[in-house]
Structure 1
Amino acid sequence: MGKRKRKHQKTSFPWMVEEENLFIAKTGNEIVTDAGWEKISFEEARKLFSPETFQEWYELFLENTDISEILSESNVDIDLDDESAIDNFLQRSNWTPKQVNLVVAKAIYKNHAWVRALLISTPDVEEPYFQNYEMEAIRLGVQLRKYIKEDIPVINDCKNAVRHLHGRYALIGWQPRNCVTAAHNLKISQATKVYNELLWDEDWVDECDSLISESRQSARK
C-alpha cells in the first residue's frame, strides 16, 4: 500500500496578510486605540512604574541627555571631561527633570476611556520601536473589549501593528488616522481608568493564555 501524503497546513505570517484584509469599515460601534506621548511631571511619572523600572529608565535617560544642559540649569561649573566629578554631582544633587514625556497606550469606547502607561520617553532609543507601542494600544483595546463583554472590532491606525496581531486576536483592524482621533486626543486627566505598570501586570491575561487555562481545567474534569 502506498503511503498517504501528509497534508501540510499553510503557515500565515504577519507580513503575508493582504492590506485589504487589515481594513475594517467604520460602523461607529468599535473600540478605537492609539499610542502617543503626554508630557507630565517627573513625580507623577514616577508613581506609574516600579522602582526597578524607574531606575533603569533614569540611567538610560542620563546616558542620552546633554550633561552640559543639566550643569547649566543647576548653575554648576564642572569640567565636562571630568567624569568622576560629574558622577559625584549627579549622585549628590539627585537631579531630575521637571517634566517628562510619557509613552501611553489609549483605548476608547463610549464612556470608557482607558490609558496605560508604557514607559517614560527616551526618544533616541524608542522611536524605531513605536510600532510596538501601537500593538500595546491594541492589547489595551482587547482588554477593554473583555471588560465590556461586547463582540466588537478593535481599531488602530498603524497597519504594521494590526498586521502583526491580526492572527492572534479576533476582530482587530486598521482604519486611517482620522478614525482614531478620539483616542489620539485622550489625556490621562480625562481617562476613566489608568493602568500603571503593576495594575496592568495583575490584570492582563493574553487570550491565548486564557484558552490554554480553560483547556487544562477541562482536561482535569
Structure 2
Amino acid sequence: MGKRKRKNHNPPFPWMVEEDNLFIAPTGNEIVTDAGWEKISFEEARKLFSPETFQEWYELFLENTDISEILSESNIDIDLDDESVIDNFLQRSNWAPKQVNLVVAKAIYKNYAWVRGLMISTPDVEEPYFHNYEMEAIRLGVKLRKYIKEDIPVINDCKDAVRHLHGRYTLIGWQPRNCVTAAHNLKISKATKVYSQLLWDEDWVDEEDEIY
C-alpha cells in the first residue's frame, strides 16, 4: 500500500492565500512598514544610488519629460523637431530638476525608524506596480526585526504585497492604513537610519536567500 502524501498547508501560489490569513490583529508591539514618495533635492537623491543606476533613471526621466518645459526654463530656443540638436543640448547643459520624488520604503519600531531609497520616481513606470515597493518595505521591516532580535509581526497595509511574501517570511501580516500611520508619515529627516543602494547591498545583499 502506498504512503499517504502529507498535506501541504502552504498554498503554492500567492493569490491562493485566503484574505483572512493575511490579517494580524494589532497588539501595539509590531514593526509597521509602508512605501511612499518623498520630495527631496536632486543632489540628495543622487547620493543614494550608484552612478549606473542613476544614469538609467536619468535617461528614463528625460524620455518621460516635456522637453519644451526644460528649454523654456533654460531660456533656450531650438528646433524641437531636431532630435540631434535636443540631444546635444541635454548633453552640454547637464540639466537636472531642482527636486525629485523619491520612492522610499519605511519601517518603524519604537525608537527605530529606517528608510530605504528605492528609486527616483518615474510615475508612468512605478505606479502600476507599486505593490512591489510595498514588498520592499516589508523586507526592510524583516531586516529590522532581525537586527533587533525580536520575534514580532511585521505589518503592511498592502494586501497584495503581504500575499506575495506570506510564504517567504514568518509573522508578516496586513492591517488597514490607519494602523501603519507612523510609517506612512515618516520623513527621511526623522529616520534613525537611511539606506542608500550601496549601504543596503553591503549590509544585506548576501542574506537575500535566508528565510526568517
Asked if these proteins are the same fold (TM beyond 0.5), I'd say yes
Partner Cα separation in structure 1 for residue 98 and residue 208 of structure 2? 41
Task: Evaluate the alpha carbon distance shift between residue 169 and residue 207 of structure 1 in structure 2; reply closer, same or farther with a 3 A threshold.
Answer: farther
Secondary structure of the corresponding residue to residue 209 of structure 1: coil
The structure whose Rg is larger is 1
Paired position in structure 2 for 1:189 = 189
Partner Cα separation in structure 2 for residue 129 and residue 9 of structure 1? 33
Could you tell me which runs of 5 or more consecutive residues in structure 2 were left unpaired when the two chains were aligned: none
Once the two structures are superposed, residues 16-38 of structure 1 have per-residue CA deviations (whole angstroms, 9 ceiling, x without a partner) of 11101100000000000000000
Task: Evaluate the alpha carbon distance shift between residue 206 and residue 129 of structure 1 in structure 2; reply closer, same or farther with a 3 A threshold.
Answer: farther
Paired position in structure 1 for 2:150 = 150
Secondary structure of the corresponding residue to residue 152 of structure 1: coil
1:1-221 equivalences under 5 Å are 4=2, 7=5, 9-10=7-8, 11-204=11-204, 209-210=209-210
Contact 1:169–1:207 (CA<8 Å) still a contact in 2?
no
Could you tell me which runs of 5 or more consecutive residues in structure 1 were left unpaired when the two chains were aligned: 212-221
Residue identity opposite 2:39 in structure 1: K
Secondary structure of the corresponding residue to residue 96 of structure 1: coil
The offset of 1:209, in angstroms, is: 2.7
Secondary structure of the corresponding residue to residue 204 of structure 1: helix
TM-score w.r.t. length of structure 1 = 0.91
TM-score w.r.t. length of structure 2 = 0.94
Contact 1:116–1:196 (CA<8 Å) still a contact in 2?
yes
Secondary structure of the corresponding residue to residue 199 of structure 1: helix
Contact 1:22–1:159 (CA<8 Å) still a contact in 2?
yes
Secondary structure of the corresponding residue to residue 115 of structure 2: strand
Secondary structure of the corresponding residue to residue 169 of structure 1: coil
Secondary structure of the corresponding residue to residue 23 of structure 1: coil
Count of aligned pairs between the two proteins: 209
Partner Cα separation in structure 1 for residue 7 and residue 196 of structure 2? 41
Secondary structure of the corresponding residue to residue 116 of structure 1: strand
Task: Evaluate the alpha carbon distance shift between residue 205 and residue 61 of structure 1 in structure 2; reply closer, same or farther with a 3 A threshold.
Answer: closer
Partner Cα separation in structure 1 for residue 3 and residue 150 of structure 2? 43
Partner Cα separation in structure 2 for residue 179 and residue 206 of structure 1? 32
Residue identity opposite 1:65 in structure 2: T
Partner Cα separation in structure 2 for residue 173 and residue 122 of structure 1? 28
The offset of 1:148, in angstroms, is: 0.5
Residue identity opposite 1:51 in structure 2: P
Partner Cα separation in structure 2 for residue 69 and residue 39 of structure 1? 20
Residue identity opposite 2:53 in structure 1: T
The offset of 1:171, in angstroms, is: 0.3
Paired position in structure 2 for 1:214 = none
Contact 1:134–1:158 (CA<8 Å) still a contact in 2?
yes
Identity value in percent: 88
Contact 1:14–1:166 (CA<8 Å) still a contact in 2?
yes
Residue identity opposite 1:169 in structure 2: Y
The offset of 1:204, in angstroms, is: 1.6
Paired position in structure 2 for 1:215 = none
Once the two structures are superposed, residues 100-144 of structure 1 have per-residue CA deviations (whole angstroms, 9 ceiling, x without a partner) of 000000000000000000000000111111000000000000000
